[in-house]
Amino acid sequence: MGPERIRRREPGALTHDVSDPFGPGPLPWPRGDETHLDDSGRAVPWYVDEPGPHPGGPRPADDVHRQIKGFASPGAVAPGEPIDFRITVEPPQGFGIDIYRIGHHDGRGAAKVTSSPRLAGLVQPPPLVADRTVSCHHWWLSWRLTVPADWRLGAYVAVLTTADGHRSHVPFTVRDNRPADLLLLLPDITWQAYNLYPEDGRTGAGLHHARDADGGLLGEAGAATTVSFDRPYAGSGLPRHVGHAYDFVRWAERYGYDLAYADARDLHAGRVDPGRYRGLVFPGRDEYWSRPMRRTVELARDQGTSLVFLSAHTLYRQVELGPSASGEPDRLLTCRKRRGPGRPVLWREADRAEQELLGIQYGGPVPEPGPMIVRNAGHWLWDGSGAAEGEEIPGLVAGEADRYFPRAPLPGHDERVLLAHSPYQDSAGVRRHQETSLYRAPSGALVFASGTFAWSPALDRPGHVDPRIRKATANLLDRICKRD
């Protein structure tokens, strides 16, 4: 395999799942003409930062040359707890870590909260690979950060920068168990399932793709069945679908919602008490769920906690989490896919269809973004949005689509309504449709499912914002938070 063949794969766009048309979103440094309006209406660049020493700006690291790559453990910490960063730098040189909090922050999209001292970079050993499971658990500790007690809860990104200007990222979450109106659950399990690190055309593997001996892209049949959280994310160092969560965070903080934060692994491990919140929000692609996750969320609904699913293809595959070789819990993620005997891997094949929780379920990929067709425009969710019956909202059906399956069981409900019914054609030219669902459980909990990838980007992604979706989402959250 020649260097030119490898070089074409460095950006990572082709080997990730390409059914998400939005990608990770703006990265934590200035991005040319990508701008955002602050509260005064002034246009500001995303993630304003001081200019660096290199006139051309920061240069993205890649998985072939490994200029700088890293990961953190654990992925979610409470104020006062330590988080460890393990980082490789090639060639060895000094580097620094700037910590940003994602949020509204007066329209900037993120705010720098601290920086590391100058650190000495070293070339860490190559990743260990066993049966397509890639792990870097043997990397030396590079920096330990004890999260200050006064840090705000939220989604954070560590920006790694070498002396010669290469950059990469490491996401993490700061959480605690305080009560709040809404708990935002970041889908780190699904993020890791799609991670192809190292995306070098040879050894990288996730639960969806891998490479053969000649560098050819393999599908699920040849992908890993177990992946490790002890490794960087491919490409920029941010998960491929992370932007959906960040879009929601920026919008929700702009409008003053009371948010707490946790990861999917917190939900799995029992660190989430849903009774502390009026609603649980699942902001982006959240395909992989363990049995403890589903059990906790169903119990939450049955006890009156509302659920908000802002994407599609949710709760599709069953997974298990296990300890790393050193005994650290929930560092290995396993999904058997289609290999070997045993219980089915899809929830619907185990007679636990997603629709029994969501109200709709996964219908298939959407080749090209298309319009969402408003249905039941007189419903309170559309109040004040200006949306009319049958109105088309451009580009709102994208990536993946959910719909109602008449032959699948519905959840128990006192009220149920479909708020969009949007025809589209799949890649084979077959006519299909997307739907958006809302039902009220007997407990009084509301359960909303957008049925499309494009809902969260419509809240705060430059070029995708739609005021009708913003107002509909505010109507939903205000009712859950008892603001109306």
Averaged pLDDT score across all residues of the chain: 89
Which tens digit of pLDDT belongs to each residue from 33-65?
455 555 566 665 555 444 455 555 678 899 999
Per-residue pLDDT of 70-110, as tens digits, reads 999 999 999 999 999 999 999 999 999 999 999 998 888 89
Tokens of 384: 């004040």
Joined tokens for residue 78: 């409470």
Residue 157 lies in a domain: no
pLDDT at 428: 92
pLDDT higher at 40 or 463: 463
* Structural domain that includes position 292: 242-480
Query: In the chain, how many domains are there?
Result: 1
Residue 213 has what pLDDT? Answer: 77
Indicate which CATH number applies to the domain containing 353. 3.40.50
**What pLDDT score does 467 carry?**
97
Return the HEC string of the chain.
CCHHHHHCCCCCCCCCCCCCCCCCCCCCCCCCCCEEECCCCCEEECCCCCCCCCCCCCEECCCCCCCEEEEEECCEECCCCEEEEEEEECCCCEEEEEEEEECCHHHCCEEEEEECCCEECCCCCCCEEECCEEECCCCCCCEEEECCCCCCCEEEEEEEEECCCEEEEEEEEECCCCCEEEEEEECHHHHHHCCCCCCCCCCCCCCCCEECCCCCEECHHHCCCEEECCCCCCCCCCCCCHHHHHHHHHHHHHCCCCEEEEEHHHHHHCCCCHHHEEEEEECCCCCEEEHHHHHHHHHHHHCCCEEEECCCCCCCEEEEEECCCCCCCCCEEECCCCCCCCCCCECHHHCCCCHHHHCCEEEEEEEEEEEEEECCCCCHHHCCCCCCCCCEEEEEEEEEEEECCCCCCCCCCCEEEEEEEEEEECCCCCEEEEEEEEEECCCCCEEEECCECCCCHHHHCCCCCCHHHHHHHHHHHHHHCCCC
| 425-457 pLDDT tens trace | 999 999 999 999 999 999 999 999 999 999 999
The pLDDT value recorded for residue 201 is 84
Asked if residue 215 belongs to a domain, the reply is no
CA separation for the pair 484, 479 (Å, rounded): 6
Predicted local distance difference test score (pLDDT) of residue 464: 92
Least confident of 86-90, 122-126, 141-145, 321-325: 321-325
Asked whether the predicted pLDDT for residue 466 surpasses 90, the reply is yes
The predicted-structure confidence for 239-275, as pLDDT tens digits, reads as follows 988 999 999 999 999 999 999 999 999 999 999 999 9
The Cα 60–Cα 166 span in angstroms is 5
Distance CA 2, CA 7 (A): 9
**Residue 375 domain flag:** yes
Quick: pLDDT tens for 349-382: 888 999 999 999 999 999 999 999 999 999 999 9
CB atoms near residue 434 (< 10 Å) = 29
Per-residue pLDDT at 50: 46
Residue 197 confidence (pLDDT): 93
pLDDT at site 17: 43
Assign 14 a pLDDT band (cuts: 50, 70, 90). very low
4 pLDDT more than 70: no
The pLDDT of residue 26 is 67
Range from 49-63, 167-181, 284-298 carrying the lowest mean pLDDT: 49-63
Indicate the pTM of the whole model.
0.92
Return d(Cα 191, Cα 286) in angstroms, integer. Answer: 8
pLDDT at 1: 34
Report pLDDT for 478.
97
Checking if the pLDDT of 140 tops 90, the result is yes
pLDDT of residue 8: 29
Average pLDDT over residues 114-132: 95
Q: Specify if 166 maps to a domain.
A: no
What is the distance between the alpha carbons of residues 27 and 238, in angstroms, rounded to a whole number? 9
